[in-house]
Amino acid sequence: MYLSELALTLIVVLALGITVCVPLYLLLQLCLDLKGKRLW
């Protein structure tokens, strides 16, 4: 039983999509913490 091309594409594209959002999410949270003076 072998992984199909479609399944491989879906797994990688989904992982890549989530990973792209990570820096944006972290920077947004950093701004919120800075604004609320909750950084440290």
Partner 1 sequence: MQAVQIDSTSALLILCAFGVAWLAWGWYLGRKNKTLDDFALAGRNVGFALATATAMATWITSNTTLVAPQLTLQFGVWGMLGYSMAALGLLLFAPLAERIRKLMPHGFTSGDFILARYGRAAWAVFIIISLCYALGWLVSLSMAGGLLLSALSDLSYLTGMTAILLICVGYTLMGGLRAVIATDFVQSIVIIIGVVVIAVVCINTVSFETLHTELSARQPELLNLLFPAAIMFFFNNVFFGIGEIFHSNVWWSRAFAFAPGIGRRSYFTAGLLWLPIPIVTGFVALAAVTLGVVPPSPDMVGPMVAAKLLGDIGAVFVFIVVFSALASSMDSLLAATSDLLTQDVFRKLLRPDSDDMSLLKASKVIIVLLGLATWLISLPKLATLGALLNFTGAFVASTIWPIVYGIFDRRLTGKWAALAMTLGTVSGLCGYFLVGFYVAAIVSCSVSLLVCRVGLARATTLFDWQQLQEAPRVLK
Interface with partner 1, residue 39, by CB under 8 A: yes
CA distance 30 to 6: 37
| Minimum distance, C-beta of residue 32 to partner 1, in the bound complex (Å) | 7
Residues contacting 33, CB < 8 A, separation 6+: 39
The CA-based angle 34-38-25, given to 5 degrees, is: 55
| Minimum distance, C-beta of residue 39 to partner 1, in the bound complex (Å) | 5
Contact residues: partner 1, CB under 8 A: 1-5, 8-9, 11-12, 14-16, 18-20, 22-23, 25-27, 29-30, 32-33, 38-40
